[in-house]
Structure 1
Amino acid sequence: MNKIELLAPAGSKESLYAAINKGADAVYLGGTKFSARAYASNFDEKTLEEAVDYAHMYGVKVYITINTLIKEKELREVLEYVGFLYKIGVDALIIQDLGVFNEIKKKFPDFELHASTQMTIHNGEGALFLKENGFHRVVLSRELSLDEIKYISKELKIETEIFVHGALCICYSGQCLMSSIIGGRSGNRGRCAQSCRLPYSIIKKGSGELYKGYLLSPKDMCTIDDIEDIIESETDSLKIEGRMKRPEYVAGVVESYKEAIENYYIKKHSNTENHKKVLMKLFNREGFSKAYLYKNVGKDMMAFNMPKNTGVFVGIIDSNGEVDLVEDVSLGDGIRCGENGFTVSKILKNNKEVLKAFKGESVKIFPKNYRKGDYIYKTSDVELLEKLKSSYLNPFGKKILINAEVEFEIGKPLSIKTVYNGVEFDVQGDLVQEALKKPLSIEKIKENLGKSGDIPYKIENIKFSSFDEGFLPISSLNNARREILQKIISFEIEKYKRQVPVKSYLNDRTLKDKKYAFPEFTYVINTKEQLRALMDLNIENIVIDVFDKSYGTIKIEDLDKLDLTKVYIKIPNIIKKEFNFICDILDKYIKDIKGIVTANVGIISRYKGRTEIIGDYKLNIFNSSSAEFYSNHIDLIPISVELNRKEVIDVVKNCNHELQQMIYGKVEMMVSEYCPIGSTFGGKCENKQCDEPCVSADFELEDRMKERFVVKTDRFCRSHIYNNVPTNLIEELEELKNIGIAYFRVDFVDEDYEEVIKVIKMLQGSLEVYSSKYTKGHYRRGVE
């Protein structure tokens, strides 16, 4: 088992220095474009190359994030950017868009590529699919348990990376469209508005019952207590989230996890309580959770009351305006009281001003932005931050010690030899002279050769193979030292540099042979009412979701009552432990059904060539190169619902494959292992499980603007949140056909019998489309 990698975020130069000085084995960072943290400081080309060289001097790997979806017009630019990254010696790229992956594999076949967590890889079949197609490493979804991580990493022998500390998305990464749909800021484009951190109410329809709070805001994850279990899962890399965080945060988190990892390998017990205290002071939301490592999906992993930094509890204000401290407080500390905050400007102890007060003391804190009975919390620890600041104020504070062999013989050049990383380096300096007065001592030579400035290396252990009591100017010693250290620096930097291939493959497309005659329209349904409406209108090519658990839905056994020759089964996009169960169902009906609809690449890999596969729009196909990649694996390619009209035209113009557009339906904005219904209305029964209120009632999520979104659950207890208004492009049908889209998808989510009939009549032209009831989605506006 190889020693595990600690991978740290570097959203700025200061964070880069902090991460490396505190012991990170690798860092990940973004350029000014194509990064999923578009609002981080990020690096321009000059500072990016400097960052790569700096890291490589320390033997630290650099991974660059290109983990956003790429528009057609950006493909050429992103490939030019990849060429620059290839040239400057970046170790690997973290990729979301399979079109970008497709092009990089053609032009830069030896560039190491990692599949971003934005690719939503959460089962073994999906991980194998990516490995077999050329990914070196898979960054697994945060929703996996330790057992699942171990299976993929150890049993399937796939190089994996997992998140171990920092903020959690409540939706599966790469599947969230909430920020995109509500405000046009796409999480898939690095511009998430963090809609999950806002307050919501969950409402039981018809009863008026509701729960309020920050119902979609999870606590940050912290796994410092679980390092032994995590390392023994045989994952390859432990990733810290936080490219938007300050460098002190990066320093403190890296230092804590590095010590815990090192202690594991030397079989030393880690005092993780001290680490957790530091981590709590740096940032927490109502404490921490272990995310899904131990299969927890309940409300105890949520920060229902406070979506921001909670801080650590300091005490309760008494009737005298004093507080009995349960935590030290210093001038300059940040204090939170309820929703408000302030910086400590004065501390009175026994009516005398002090710079610091300690746990157990009673003090008054100023300014007095609080009242009797208020609970106060420390959100910023000035002493801790000042201590951690040293990690980035001196970029070369960490030294790599080098052994050297020195020859110091009169009449011969000064000779210094060393071996670093298995490579021999040597320099010949000036001639050693006879000492006319005072000869140079061994101690003086060692002192000067052992100096180190703004470089990572320091000559520490010096052995003299020969020594005469001769003389050299100190400047000669310094020059020889600088020369040999510069040779090491140059070698360590230059060995990563590469020549960029000349040939471009961007317009190299291959036509795909048609295997199926696709239906012009497919209709996705999940309830018996919706099915009845379609059957009453003699509609064929129905896509049935038999995995929805909500009230009135179609069950698996209902399939036996249908003529399946014109039926597709909609397969969940998220499939974990139930993978074999779903495959058993598919295998039972595979010869009878027309095909399947899914975005789960594990299922796509398993059933490729066995049945017709229509992709789900959550495959996030943004460009023609992505369509080309998927054309080798699925039969009908869905384009992303985030593209506008002009972008759809761009894709069609450069694509040789059949494309499908969603023309009607409520877009799925989130899918999550966590269920807001079960965590609020679920209650407890004897076996400690949710009593499934979703089966007997319908639920909605209401935001601050009083907009209500559909919340549904599937039979595996995952929650799905849908837009409150259907996207309706029926008026654009002829325009879309003229553009070159020949196939269309109609989605029914919670529509009743009458609403289904209305939509079909709109499609058939016998009923006018009332635009005010619908949205055009991104068709006109698009996303940033």
Structure 2
Amino acid sequence: MNRIEILAPAGSMESLIAAMNKGADAVYLGGNKFSARAYASNFDNDNMIKAVDYVHSYGAKVYVTLNTILKENEIEEAVRYVGFLYEIGVDAIILQDLGLFKRIKEEFPDFEIHASTQMTIHNGEGALFFKEKGFHRIVLSRELSIDEVKYISKDLGIETEIFVHGALCISYSGQCLMSSMIGGRSGNRGRCAQPCRMEYTLKGINSGERKAYLLSPKDTCTIENVKDIIDSGTYSLKIEGRMKRAEYVAGVVDNYKKAVEKELYKTEYNVNKGKRELLQLFNRGGFSNAYLHKNLGKDMMSFNHPRNTGVPLGKIEKSGEIILKENIALGDGFRFRDTGFNINKIIKDGLEVKEAKRGEKVKIFPKAYKIGDEIFKSLDKKLFQSLEDSLKPYNRKIDLTAKVSFKISEPLKLIVTYNDKEYTFLGEIVNKAEKKPLSKERIIEALSKSSDSVFKLNEIEFINFEDGFLRISDVNNLRREALESIQKSITKSYRRKRPEKNEKIKEEINKKVSFDIMYQCITKEQLKAILEEGATDIIIDVFNRDKDALKIQDIINLYEEKNVNIYLKIPNIIKSEFNTVVNLIEKVKNYIKGIVTVNAGIIRKYQNELIIIGDYKLNIINSEALKFYQKEIHVPTLSLELNRKEIKTMLKGNKGNIQGIVYGKTELMISEYCPIGSTFGEKSSCKDCNLACTRDKFTLIDRMNEKFRVMTDIFCRSYILNPSPLNLIEEKEDLVSLGVNSFRVEFRDESYNEVKKVFKMIRHEEEINSKEYTKGHYRRGIE
């Protein structure tokens, strides 16, 4: 029988308690630093110890999130913090930064590590790459279908974790720089400002425009897909929600626990009722199972409202009444448009009532709405009240069996069994009864009381009993002492001693690769301009959907006609088309010198065959992560989230290859969802796509009138580009002085003339107009 873990979010102690009371098998939580939910309450060291002990007392597990990328000056502090977590018995670390991973493997080799979804692991080869490096579990990208999850989990035998419920990022996690580039709040550092929840206008040159919350997806709900998920072989079902209320955590854990038990043990559970409850707890215009069954279009989006919408109550009729689609009661929350209230009066058939049922016609107050308004029930007071008990510490008890010896002139003896192990406790001496002896029933009643403990004594039997006397307070004290002692022995068993430090192994790095500036292009016009300028190291992207996009044959022709070094740009995301991409690489392998990629699967397959240049979305911002990649690939590229000072500190003493981007429109988002197809193509899946992206050029416009170009690739993924190109051409010599030994110029949607202009700037033949470009984070940095 499958073992399935229900993994709950714990943004606070209250949420953690709620998760345990509802039967979660594990919780994930963050400390005060290095967590991808920097704005959650999180746990200081004292509360972290309490949290770990509390969860372990239930026999459940604690995973701590250190899933942000770390700056150079944070690595040592993070390693010390890992040591603290190791000692107090944390079961596993969830991380993104490969520098921290490298150090943990060196200093705490037996500490279990889970690869965060921020690492964008989305294909079998990538999962194998990180498993072979020492990750115990892979938290898969949310974008995988059930068949893709099954292949990695069951066919490859990799322990995986998938998100089953909660908020969804529209961009691949770990590949989003939108919040970072717009306002300096990096999603890779847990400080995302959620620009995807803003309103945008999508405009085509010839296709018109549409305004809506075009990047705001509905929350995921897979409660109806639990059987498929179990059959996929995944191990852990992860619930999103460290920023949500404890009642939300309780309700969601409860429903998924029951849904899993229904499939595994054939227990009773009404999925439809459960889904209604989940909708009431939180939803954004309904739910989606999105990528699980490849529903990638407008059906997964909440175009009209980016926040909790509640559930529809009905429309206000001319009479000012509403025919209810849901039950209501005084104190429930309701909203219309962007306004919300609590119901303080209900009128039915001219009479004031405390509640009303679905199908009844009523007036609700306060009456700030207008005729024709759609009304939504945003809060179910009874539902939240029903979940309040789950917020009380130790509300769920673990029953233990006990044996009692009650003999005159001997101590009261209590033998408690937990996990097939017997614990013996002695109390006060039992006295001869001068008046009324203490009865068996009275002793059982005292021992069965509910203590401030995870345990409760049940099935109490007497191995000896004589008519003696003992104060009831002495019986109570023994019960408390016994349960507290067992609980402490359990939590203490998780504690560890730090291992002895190993001698540092000499770092291996790949050999030097020599080139100055590489030029990356997408279109034939761009390539023409690059060749005219005499470039010798050229990166070609043949995966774009632009009308003038380069193809495989262009690479072969270029090799045969020109004396240049050709590199192939590989998409960051390669899912079910992995073999297609591999076949394409094989076709041109004899014509190219190497590839540019961040895809771990491609790195694993070709690291011993081709020169590999790691792109900037490897998110390298510290020297330890750089060392990790310099061992695996030939040329890592600096993260665009680094500032000058950080680059200088990070590269001090570095003797390997390192590349920097000096020009290009930064790729802010990569998504399976395409706003063009969903808005102008009525796309609800890739099969329905009318390829509107190939017939026009599209731009997303935000409320500040910033214009973000949207492009697509041949696999129907969308890419959102920064409005202003990064331009560090003037900083090239400075970067050389810092230790950067190669550079890249990226052309995405530039015309022939714009390409020529960039070459003139490189040759110092044209001044750089600072208003047209950005230096990105080179001077400012990120939070």
Bin for the TM-score computed over the shorter chain: over 0.9
- 1:20-31 to 2 correspondence within 5 Å? 20-31=20-31
Tell me if the contact between 1:509 and 1:656 (Cα under 8 Å) persists in the aligned partners.
Answer: no
SS at match of 1:437: coil
Q: Structure 1's 618 and 663: CA in aligned 2 closer, same or farther, altered over 3 A?
A: same
SS at match of 2:387: helix
* Paired residue type of 1:584: N
- Whether 2:120 is the aligned partner of 1:124: answer no
* Paired residue type of 1:460: N
Gaps of 5+ in 2: none
* TM score, norm. by length of structure 1: 0.97
- Whether 2:526 is the aligned partner of 1:536: answer no
Tell me if the contact between 2:686 and 2:716 (Cα under 8 Å) persists in the aligned partners.
Answer: no
SS at match of 1:439: coil
SS at match of 1:292: helix
- Whether 2:605 is the aligned partner of 1:606: answer yes
- 1:283-294 to 2 correspondence within 5 Å? 283-294=282-293
- Report what 2:567 is aligned to: 568
- Report what 2:179 is aligned to: 179
* Paired residue type of 1:203: K
Residues 549-558 or 145-154, more deviating = 549-558
- 1:491-502 to 2 correspondence within 5 Å? 491-501=489-499
How far is the alpha carbon of 1:504 from its aligned partner? 8.6
* Paired residue type of 2:374: Y
Report the Cα distance in structure 2 between the residues aligned to 1:268 and 1:424, rounded to whole angstroms: 32
How far is the alpha carbon of 1:408 from its aligned partner? 1.9
Tell me if the contact between 2:295 and 2:685 (Cα under 8 Å) persists in the aligned partners.
Answer: no
- Report what 2:329 is aligned to: 330
- Report what 1:379 is aligned to: 378
Report the Cα distance in structure 2 between the residues aligned to 1:80 and 1:404, rounded to whole angstroms: 43
* Paired residue type of 2:197: R
- 1:572-611 to 2 correspondence within 5 Å? 572-611=571-610
Residues matched between the structures, number: 780
Superimposed CA distance per residue, residues 673-710 of structure 1 (whole angstroms, 9 cap, x where no aligned partner): 11111112225799952121222322111111221111
* TM score, norm. by length of structure 2: 0.97
How far is the alpha carbon of 1:353 from its aligned partner? 2.9
Tell me if the contact between 1:511 and 1:657 (Cα under 8 Å) persists in the aligned partners.
Answer: no
Residues 651-660 or 678-687, more deviating = 678-687
How far is the alpha carbon of 1:476 from its aligned partner? 2.4
Gaps of 5+ in 1: none
SS at match of 1:293: helix
Aligned match of 2:483 in 479, 482, 485?
A: 485
Report the Cα distance in structure 2 between the residues aligned to 1:601 and 1:730, rounded to whole angstroms: 30
Tell me if the contact between 2:512 and 2:657 (Cα under 8 Å) persists in the aligned partners.
Answer: no
Tell me if the contact between 1:114 and 1:138 (Cα under 8 Å) persists in the aligned partners.
Answer: yes
* Paired residue type of 1:636: V
Report the Cα distance in structure 2 between the residues aligned to 1:539 and 1:138, rounded to whole angstroms: 41
- Whether 2:253 is the aligned partner of 1:264: answer no
Report the Cα distance in structure 1 between the residues aligned to 2:670 and 2:506, rounded to whole angstroms: 34
How far is the alpha carbon of 1:90 from its aligned partner? 0.7
- 1:409-488 to 2 correspondence within 5 Å? 409-488=407-486
How far is the alpha carbon of 1:349 from its aligned partner? 2.7
How far is the alpha carbon of 1:654 from its aligned partner? 5.2
Q: Structure 1's 481 and 194: CA in aligned 2 closer, same or farther, altered over 3 A?
A: same
How far is the alpha carbon of 1:511 from its aligned partner? 4.7
Report the Cα distance in structure 2 between the residues aligned to 1:512 and 1:391, rounded to whole angstroms: 53
Tell me if the contact between 2:443 and 2:475 (Cα under 8 Å) persists in the aligned partners.
Answer: yes
- Whether 2:725 is the aligned partner of 1:758: answer no
- Report what 1:306 is aligned to: 305
How far is the alpha carbon of 1:319 from its aligned partner? 1.9
Superimposed CA distance per residue, residues 688-733 of structure 1 (whole angstroms, 9 cap, x where no aligned partner): 5212122232211111122111111111111111101101011111
Report the Cα distance in structure 2 between the residues aligned to 1:671 and 1:412, rounded to whole angstroms: 74
* Paired residue type of 1:426: T
- Report what 1:711 is aligned to: 710
Report the Cα distance in structure 2 between the residues aligned to 1:490 and 1:588, rounded to whole angstroms: 63
How far is the alpha carbon of 1:653 from its aligned partner? 1.3
SS at match of 2:765: coil
Superimposed CA distance per residue, residues 246-301 of structure 1 (whole angstroms, 9 cap, x where no aligned partner): 11111111111111111111224531110011011111111100121112211111
Superimposed CA distance per residue, residues 531-558 of structure 1 (whole angstroms, 9 cap, x where no aligned partner): 0001111111101001111221101222
Report the Cα distance in structure 1 between the residues aligned to 2:513 and 2:232, rounded to whole angstroms: 46
Q: Structure 1's 82 and 664: CA in aligned 2 closer, same or farther, altered over 3 A?
A: same
Report the Cα distance in structure 1 between the residues aligned to 2:259 and 2:664, rounded to whole angstroms: 49
Report the Cα distance in structure 2 between the residues aligned to 1:138 and 1:512, rounded to whole angstroms: 26
- Report what 1:617 is aligned to: 616
* Paired residue type of 2:779: R
Identity of aligned residues (%): 56
- Report what 1:19 is aligned to: 19
Report the Cα distance in structure 2 between the residues aligned to 1:544 and 1:75, rounded to whole angstroms: 36
Report the Cα distance in structure 1 between the residues aligned to 2:471 and 2:692, rounded to whole angstroms: 85
* Paired residue type of 1:407: S
* Paired residue type of 2:715: F
- Report what 1:82 is aligned to: 82
- Report what 1:550 is aligned to: 546
How far is the alpha carbon of 1:208 from its aligned partner? 5.5
* Paired residue type of 1:310: T
- 1:51-66 to 2 correspondence within 5 Å? 51-66=51-66
Report the Cα distance in structure 2 between the residues aligned to 1:404 and 1:122, rounded to whole angstroms: 50
Tell me if the contact between 1:510 and 1:656 (Cα under 8 Å) persists in the aligned partners.
Answer: no
Residues 722-731 or 309-318, more deviating = 309-318
- Report what 1:631 is aligned to: 630
Report the Cα distance in structure 2 between the residues aligned to 1:497 and 1:550, rounded to whole angstroms: 57
Report the Cα distance in structure 1 between the residues aligned to 2:254 and 2:523, rounded to whole angstroms: 53
- Report what 2:320 is aligned to: 321
Report the Cα distance in structure 1 between the residues aligned to 2:417 and 2:275, rounded to whole angstroms: 40
- Report what 1:662 is aligned to: 661
- Report what 2:50 is aligned to: 50
Tell me if the contact between 1:627 and 1:657 (Cα under 8 Å) persists in the aligned partners.
Answer: no
Tell me if the contact between 2:123 and 2:148 (Cα under 8 Å) persists in the aligned partners.
Answer: yes
Residues 184-193 or 482-491, more deviating = 482-491
Tell me if the contact between 1:551 and 1:698 (Cα under 8 Å) persists in the aligned partners.
Answer: no
Tell me if the contact between 1:342 and 1:369 (Cα under 8 Å) persists in the aligned partners.
Answer: no
Report the Cα distance in structure 1 between the residues aligned to 2:512 and 2:602, rounded to whole angstroms: 19
Report the Cα distance in structure 2 between the residues aligned to 1:380 and 1:227, rounded to whole angstroms: 26
- Report what 1:32 is aligned to: 32
SS at match of 1:500: coil
CA RMSD of aligned residues (A): 1.7
SS at match of 1:321: coil
Tell me if the contact between 1:527 and 1:554 (Cα under 8 Å) persists in the aligned partners.
Answer: yes
Tell me if the contact between 2:556 and 2:588 (Cα under 8 Å) persists in the aligned partners.
Answer: no
- Report what 1:742 is aligned to: 741
SS at match of 2:688: coil
Superimposed CA distance per residue, residues 299-347 of structure 1 (whole angstroms, 9 cap, x where no aligned partner): 1111111111111111211222222222122222211111222222222
